[in-house]
Structure 1
Amino acid sequence: MAWIMGDLSPSARIWTALGPALLACAYFILGLVAFCVRVAIKGVPQDEETLKRGSTILVGMFLRHYFFWVTQPLWKVIYRSGLPANALSMLSGLLGVSSGVAVAAGRFTLGGWLFLASGILDVMDGRIARIRKQANPAGAALDSVLDRYVDSAMLMGLAWYYRDNWVLLPVLVAFLGTSLVPYVRARGEGLGINIRGGAMQRLERVLFLGVGVALAPIFEAIWFPEQKHPMHWLAVVGIVFVAIMSNVTAFSRFRALVNALAPPPPTSRKRSGLAILGLNALAGAVATGVDFVSVLGMVEKLSFTPVIATALGCVLGGVVNYSMNRLLTFRSQSAVAPQLARYTLVSATSALLNAGGVALLTLHPQLAYTLGWWLARGAVYFAWNLPLQRDYVFNDPPEALMERPHAA
């Protein structure tokens, strides 16, 4: 009744959020006890659907088997009702879109539970279609597209609620990650490669985001009962976590896809990507230190002007960086002169990109310039410096690789 009548008093906010959670917790806790007894007697029930989907770091195989086992009563009711799988997909979509509308209006409890209910129905529809042997490409396409609408609706609702707050940024980052995770998988399947890994898949997104949003009003009603537009800190934690982990998952899938499509390296003696990253970063750190110390010495001991000292320090730091990367990181044996010209080109464009990035980021006065400096440096390093040094500057031609002496 509090949901229906819009009662937003502290006690109503607590009980409307906590009531469904208490019922769900009681059911799942009793179900976990029964499941453990069942496992002790007969072993873990091997659900074929769960085995095909695999597990993640956040939700392991035991928990996945348990979830599908404990939801069997609900699944059987839906199955025996005769409802077609597409109807369940549409109902899941309607509930999911409604969750976004509720969250945008500040009704986090209602929106969170609608989102969780939508996720449960989304698990059921595909199973019912496969058991009834009604699975087809049209149904799979409908289910996949509706999932994107549901995820987008929830995040759009959160973006509207936090439109005048810093939380809008992690919401948009989460929007990016949740869009890229299924896209990379779909792109891989289009190229004939199955990419399904990652910690933050859809089940995890629904779980962490839905629970965080649904239970957030409890804490706000206890600690900030008078706020008319509460922050909902538990939801903020869920949003930030989903934003980080979904993009990590998208990047890991993208990297796996590129590695699967990329040709093998020309020689097995190439360093691993992690070793290259570490040694390249070490070379950059040493070169920066040499640059700083040399500028300090030229200004303090040799009475150079800061401008001239800075220019000479940059040149000296560049030489150190080039030498360390050539000898240590990439162990290159190509001709020095053309390689040094390529290195100079990359370094010059890197300086322009870093300066332009900082200039763009400082257009937002609420962002500290130091943070903008680090963001620009990080983006240029990973998107420009490191790939070009690996694949353009220090990428020895095959004839150089053939001439390289083998280790004794």
Structure 2
Amino acid sequence: MLENLVAWLTGNLSPSARIWTALAPAILACAYFLGGLLIFCIRCAFKGVPRDEETLKRGSTVLVGFFLRHYFFWVIQPLWALILRSGLPANALSMLSGLLGISSGVAVAAGRFALGGWLFLAAGILDVMDGRIARTRKEANPAGAALDSVLDRYVDSAMLMGLAWYYRDTWVLLPALGALLGSSLVPYVRAKGEGLGVSVRDGAMQRLERVLFLGVGTALSPILEAVFWPEEKHPMHWLAVVGLVFVAIMSNLTAISRFRNLVKALAPKRQEARSEKAIVGLNAAAGAIATAVDFALVLALVEWMNLLPAWATVLGALLGAVVNYSINRVLTFRSTAAVGRQMVRYAVVSGTSALLNAGGVALLTLHPQLAYTLGWWLVRGVVYFAWNLPLQRDYVFNDTTPNNDTLLEQRPHAA
């Protein structure tokens, strides 16, 4: 008995022990939550869905809808009532949630995924309750909200740092760092928006979803490893990897979506002749047509006129630039400004775009494990959306912006 306890504490577990350390809490949790779901569905059939007011205010996501959220807060009512009667302060629950969450990161860093996953889920449940306890007792205050918010960031970061440490010698380190970045940006953009008077709460991967996918995936992953790879000394824990990659992708998409909506809400309103999607589509089509014309001219000059490929490339690039400029001026942005000034600005944007693309590809090729073709497309996409499209819209073809000569003429002269 003592040997089994020492083995459990040190992590020196047999395959069957690894399964049971993950499965035993899962059996109890599943029995409670699945049984609760059955009773909840029967109740809903006769009395309707018991609506939780705070859930309605916070909204739902594609991943976890209103039904599941109402069910979750209904099924944890016994635990919530027990904590409420105990008289524990809400700040104590926040601190306990923080301690459990940080401990989860230490556990997964040591390879104890079942322990770390359940600690992370327990921290998430306590985090849901502390604010509700404070509001029910009418003890909610800015200090408690600040404590809760900061501790949430520590809990998320600790878990992801623990996973990053465990996977430090594998490719999974990259999604672990990506999830850490996305999980930090999602609440930051929301807080920044609230500070500027804009509410940005959209996105599929919010904190409840992060806790759910990371916690469940990590807690149950030893079962899969013990069944299929029982002799592996440093198992990959593939269920945790799937959850981690999913959180990394979705949290960054949520952060980008919130950031885009925030900037759009704060930016000066523009009178657009068409929707933004139409502009992006026409701009991309102009680039594709220009590239095709460029390539066709290069082939014609080299194959039919025996011109050197280098010179043919220069001429093809010039023709492609003219075609791209013309389509964007006439069709995409419907600009009527002076051509000369626009051509100069277009040349500036195109030249800097070429440098950014070349530099980005050069940097990514420093990592030979990344295919250069993937790096090329990645850099192209980032430069297009972060540099080419905004500058063509707001700098090259923006007819509403006065030129510098006009602004200089309008400056008051010194007496």
Give the TM-score, by structure 1 length: 0.95
Shift of 1:25: 1.1
Distance in 2 between residues matched to 1:372 and 1:254, nearest whole Å: 24
Task: Return 328-337 or 93-102, whichever deviates more.
Answer: 328-337
Q: Aligned-pair distance for 1:65?
A: 0.3
Alignment match of 1:136 (pick from 132, 138, 141): 141
1:56 equivalent in alignment to 2:37: no
| Residues 1:277 and 2:280 aligned together | yes
Q: Residues 345 and 78 (structure 1 numbering): CA distance in 2 closer, same or farther, change over 3 Å? A: same
Could you list the per-position Cα deviations for residues 260-285 of structure 1 after superposition, in whole angstroms to 9, with x for gaps in the alignment? 111211x2x42222111111111111
How does 1:8-407 map onto structure 2 within 5 Å?
Answer: 8-265=13-270, 267=271, 269-397=272-400
TM-superposed CA distance for 1:6, in Å, is 3.0
Alignment match, 1:404: none
Match of 2:210, SS?
helix
Cα deviation, residue 397, structure 1? 2.0
Change (3 A) 1:54 1:192: same
1 CA distance for matches of 2:174 and 2:402? 49
Question: Aligned partners of 1:345 and 1:195: how far apart in 2?
Answer: 35
When structure 1 is superposed on structure 2, of 29-38 and 367-376 the one drifting more is: 367-376
CA distance in 2, matches of 1:115, 1:316: 58
Contact kept, 8 Å, 1:3 with 1:110, in 2: the verdict is no
Task: Tell me which amino acid in the other structure corresponds to 1:86.
Answer: N
TM-score by length of 2: 0.94
Note if contact 1:116-1:210 (Cα within 8 Å) is conserved in structure 2: yes
Matched-pair contact (CA < 8 Å) for 1:116–1:206: yes
Match in the other structure for 1:6: 11
1:255 Cα offset (Å): 1.2
Q: Is the 8 A contact 1:16 1:109 kept in 2?
A: yes
Moved over 6 A (4+): none
CA distance in 2: counterparts of 1:394 and 1:155, whole angstroms: 44
SS of 1:364 mapped into structure 2: coil
CA distance in 2, matches of 1:399, 1:252: 31
Report the Cα distance in structure 2 between the residues aligned to 1:359 and 1:169, rounded to whole angstroms. Answer: 19
Structure 1: 5+ residue stretches without partners: 401-408
Cα separation, 2, equivalents of 1:373 and 1:194: 36
> What is the alpha-carbon distance in structure 2 between the residues aligned to residue 17 and residue 323 of structure 1?
63
| Aligned match of 2:407 | none
Task: Kindly tell me the number of residue pairs found equivalent between the two proteins.
Answer: 398
AA paired with 1:137?
Answer: P
State the shift of 1:5 in Å: 5.7
- The letter of the residue matching 2:303 is E
Identity of aligned residues (%): 77
Give the Cα separation in 1 of the matches to 2:151 and 2:390: 37
Moved more, 370-379 or 200-209: 370-379
Distance in 2 (alpha carbons) for counterparts of 1:370 and 1:192: 42
Q: Which amino acid aligns with 2:34?
A: I
Q: 1:7: Cα distance to partner?
A: 4.4
Matches of 2:157 and 2:38, distance apart in 1: 36
2:170 is aligned with what amino acid?
N
RMSD: 1.4
User: Could you tell me how far apart the structure 1 residues matched to 2:376 and 2:157 are?
Assistant: 31
Match of residue 408 from structure 2 = none
Aligned 8 A contact 1:7 1:13 in 2: no
Give the match's secondary structure for 2:383. helix
Could you report, residue by residue, the CA deviation over 1:225-273 in whole angstroms, capped at 9, with x for unpaired residues?
Answer: 11100111111111110001001111111111111111211x2x42222
* Aligned AA (2:133): I
SS in 2 for 1:16: helix
Matched AA of 2:30? C
Change (3 A) 1:88 1:260: same
Cα distance in 1 for residues equivalent to 2:198 and 2:381: 30
